[in-house]
Structure 1
């Protein structure tokens, strides 16, 4: 609408006729696949300043209102289905849960209202690291079962590098030195 008003100014004065023509074109334009406001109101498009053959306004070329409503309803259903494909309800928290809190101020400086959507339950990332919970007293007669270590962690002289897929275990801990011959730069030679 602002663009229509701005385009109606001619030589420093407001042209009411130009604005009326642009408003007629605006009302005659379709809205997101449905009928235009003029077509919804009059059940036909209005004749405007754009050149058109007189037969293009014939009733057989105009779609019925219920067909347009049906198309708009179907598009809305597809939009809802697409949104709900990945949307899910947030899980309720219990007392003592460890959570991650999103910072309420974005990088651009916009301040968000803090609510339940900014909280996520914290999940342990590395195997063997768990969130602190209630301590369980160990029974000396029944030792806890040892967990298998599929990644080779806690092995002497071994490091683990994580890549896509499986982890690779490297047994050399010494830093690798270059085998390239070291020469003195030419600018230092006499």
Structure 2
């Protein structure tokens, strides 16, 4: 027990020592789409930081009124709007490629097989052991009565619809005169 506890700090130290290596391996396993998206995000982040710094300088300028500050920041934003559009387009382009690559790695047949693995025995059990599978004459009479009840309900509903359609619509009632 004491020996196992003394290995815990060594394991943690080993994991921390291997962290840069595992990060480097993870970096090499990234797709070109992921790397492109990260690069575009870094450029976009720098542009937004630049915008933020410039907007803060405008806000800090006491010689400007609030209206002037708002107009200058809006004008500044119009300068950065193309960067937003470019990043959005790039992110959309790369995200679809990343999703496509991720979906290519999924074995759809295996997912379906796993999802339906428990269903077949259940269906087989119901079909062979359930009351519906029994040819008992009393059950057959009961099922016939249930089916007849459902048919009678449907026929009654159709009769009600026919009766409603046969009655001519009532003439519209004129609105009451308003007391003004």
TM above 0.5, one fold?
A: no
Of the two structures, which has the highest relative contact order with CA contacts closer than 8 Å and spacing of 6 or more? 2
TM-score (norm 2): 0.26
Per the normalisation by structure 1, the TM-score is 0.25
If each structure's strand is expressed as a fraction of its own residues, which one has the higher value?
A: 1
